[in-house]
Amino acid sequence: MLTDVLLLCRALHVPAPVAEHRFAPPRRWRFDWAWPDYLVALEVEGGAFIGGRHTRGAGFLKDIEKYSEAAILGWCVVRCTPSTLTTHGLDRVQRALKRARPSHLPR
C-alpha cells in the first residue's frame, strides 16, 4: 500500500506523506499517513465488515481516545476504508491540505 499511496499522491499533486507518524508523545499513537506540517492525517480503517479491531469494543474505545486527542492538538484526521482510499480518502486529504496552513506559520 505504501507505493500505491505515494503514487496516488504524486498523481494528485499532493505532497508525499509520512508513513506511521507518531504524535502526542509519550503516547505511542501513530497515524497511518500524515502531513505533519499541515496537521493533516489519513487513517485507513480496515475490517469494518468483518469485526476488525476498529469496530470491536476495546479497539473502538481506543480509537475514540486517539482521535479526540488528535483533535485537541489541532489535527484534521481524515478516515477512510481500504476500498475508498483511492476515491474519497485522498480526495478529502487534498481538500484538507488546501484549507490547512502549515503549522510553522502563525494562525
Q: Are 38 and 16 in contact (CB under 8 A)?
A: no
Q: Whole-prediction pTM value?
A: 0.82
Given a cut of 70, whether residue 38 has pLDDT beyond it is yes
Q: Where are any strands of DSSP class E within the chain? A: 18-22, 30-35, 40-44, 76-80
User: Which triple of cell numbers denotes residue 14?
Assistant: 499532493
Whole-angstrom distance, CA of residue 62 vs CA of residue 23 = 15
Average pLDDT, the chain: 86
Least confident window among 48-52, 61-65, 78-82: 48-52
> Do 44 and 89 contact (CB within 8 A), yes or no?
yes
Q: Which domains does the chain have, with CATH numbers?
A: 2-99 (3.40.960.10)
